[in-house]
Amino acid sequence: MENLSRFVGIWIVFAIYIAVSVEGVAYDGTCTGSGVGNCADTNNICDATSHKCACSSTSYLKDGTTECADKIALAGTCTASPTGQCADSNAKCHATDLICVCMSNYFANKNAACASRKNPNATCGGDECVTHASCVSSKCKCDAGYTPSPTTSPTMCSSVIKFAALPYMYVIPIHVSMMFILDHFKVFVFCDI
């Protein structure tokens, strides 16, 4: 009977050990192992430097919690905070639409990934060109009032500063005429004195 008690006791200790090991370590808790290690959440990894459970590169820490959630694909619904929710590193959560969108220097390509906007004169196929440029006949062309800049190997479209020279040509004669009239008006007004 004593052997049976020991046997049952060992099995109880073993069962408790397995139950505790399966449960795992919570976010920011001290962990062991590599990859997920003994972290409880599958979106966690055991950080090799700090030896603490942290969010994996494919997940983010939900605001105000200790829960790691899967990062969100382009056009997926996100929240105003925290940053880093979007799966593509060149995307962010749009402040009012609350969906993951490409940052201003990027566009969503056919593979649903953010790619760098195309420079003037580059081959294009839609809304892929840099700011102030449009895709015309499969080439990025600067919009009206903008020119490729710099001149050699352009990377952007800059506005062109135009001076309206003609109206300024009329200013001097009008000014001189006004001075003449005022000068003569003063003579006529003050002649009676």
At 8-23, the pLDDT tens digits run: 555 454 444 444 444 7
Residue 17 is predicted with a pLDDT of 44
**Dihedral Cα 9, 10, 13, 19, nearest 10 deg:** -120
Q: Which residues of the chain have pLDDT under 70?
A: 1-22, 160-193
In order of 72, 84, 93, 133, 148, the CA distances from 125 in angstroms are: 26, 29, 25, 13, 19
- Residue 116: what pLDDT? 94
- The pLDDT value recorded for residue 169 is 53
**What pLDDT is stored for residue 110 in this prediction?**
87
Residue 32: predicted pLDDT: 92
pLDDT value, residue 18: 45
The pLDDT score that the predictor gives to residue 16 is 44
pTM over 0.75: no
Strand residue runs (E) in 67-161: 68-70, 91-93, 100-102, 106-108, 114-116, 133-136, 139-142, 146-149, 156-159
| pLDDT at residue 185 in the model | 55
pLDDT digits (tens, 9 = 90+) for 23-59: 789 999 999 988 888 999 989 999 999 999 999 999 9
Structural domain boundaries in the chain: 1-68, 71-116, 118-164
| Cα–Cα distance for residue pair 40/25, rounded to 1 Å | 5
